[in-house]
Chains A and B, each alone.
Chain A
Amino acid sequence: MDTTFTPLLSLAGGGLIGLAAVLLMLGLGRIMGATGLVAGLLAPASGRDWAWRAALVLGMATGPLVWLAATGTWPQVSVAAGPVQLVLGGLAVGIGVTFGGGCTSGHGICGLARLSPRSLVATLTFMASAALTVYVIRHVIGA
């Protein structure tokens, strides 16, 4: 499916993502990484530790609803993958980010902002792997 190039909206959205990362560090001293956030929900250090993570995820999920309230339309979520692909892909993401110690937000934004060589290697690896996967699915298999 074709999507429109949206440089300004995407830059502004990225700015908000960065603002959230900075505020979380300022307020709670935590890295804004979705992997670590969810990992702590699955195995929280304490009830209090669980609560702030749950509140944050709830806030994230409110994002599209605020969008709906402001614009009158749902944000577009087009999923080409079928159920089997979603389950296999979801398993790969879950196992991968756990062993890799982070994902796009944790390594790709917070880690790179801290100039972490580990995060740079992780980011280059998952970006290259995702690009290769998309190439194979769209241009080799031709799905």
Chain B
Amino acid sequence: MRLALPYLIGLIFGLGITLAGMINPAKVLNFFDIAGNWDPSLAFVMAGALAVTFLGYRLVLRRPAPLFEPQFHLPTSRAIDARLLGGSALFGLGWGMTGFCPGGALPALGTFEPAVWLFLSAMLSGMMIARMLAARLDGGGPQPFSA
């Protein structure tokens, strides 16, 4: 029962990504290709997701606590620094090279497409490398993930 809820939420997310077309790297890349075969669909994905999340969060975050946990876990970092900018720029580079972002690639696992597994293996390796780098930069202690 405890795991049924996250499973169901994941399924809704995965169906949303599939329905939206974000599971298809070609469609994602065509969104960025304004100078070529532009496909503006991704803007509609973002609009739909943002509208629902914006309104839903307004209602949910009024509560003192979530239903099944003692408290909300909201990101606390507000820093706009070199790490945020450099990291995001690097993410965009990889996204543009492949058409996969983490939230698009995880549902795509279910298609058993070998390219997805290769991308995700490299992504997980990158995340572990970054954790080690960040720990070194910080002089010890693992880097907390936010957002």
Interface residues of A (CB under 8 A from B): 1-40, 42-43, 51-53, 55-67, 74-81, 83, 85-114, 116-119, 121-123, 125-135, 137-139
B-side interface mostly:
helix
Q: How far is the CA of A25 from the CA of B90 in the complex (A)?
A: 28
A17 touches B93 (CB 8 A): no
Are A104 and B14 in contact (CB-based, < 8 A)? Answer: no
- Give me 27 A-to-B residue pairs in the complex whose CB atoms sit less than 8 angstroms apart, sorted by A's number: A2-B30, A6-B41, A11-B45, A11-B47, A19-B16, A26-B60, A26-B66, A35-B147, A36-B147, A52-B3, A58-B7, A60-B109, A64-B23, A74-B111, A86-B98, A87-B118, A93-B102, A98-B130, A98-B145, A99-B84, A101-B77, A101-B145, A114-B74, A116-B78, A126-B89, A138-B33, A139-B35
Which single residue of chain A is at the shortest CB-CB distance from B75? A31
Q: Do B36 and A138 have beta carbons less than 8 Å apart? A: yes
How many pairs of A and B residues are in contact by the CB < 8 Å rule? 519
In Å, the complex CA distance between A108 and B53 comes to: 11
B91 to chain A: which residues have CB within 8 Å?
A: 92-93, 96-97, 100, 103, 126, 129
Q: Tell me if A25 and B102 are in contact (CB < 8 A).
A: no
Complex Cα–Cα for A42 and B145 (A): 11
Chain B residues lying within 8 Å of A67, measured Cβ to Cβ, are 15, 18-19
User: By CB atoms of chain A within 10 A, which of B103, B107, B125 has the most?
Assistant: B103
With contacts A36-B147, A138-B36 taken as known, whether A99 is within 8 angstroms of B83 at the C-beta atoms is yes
1-42 of chain B: CB within 8 A of chain A:
2-27, 29-30, 32-37, 39-42
Within 8 A of A (CB), among B46-94: 46-54, 56-57, 59-61, 63, 65-69, 71-75, 77-80, 83-94
Q: Give A108 Cβ to nearest chain B Cβ, in Å.
A: 7
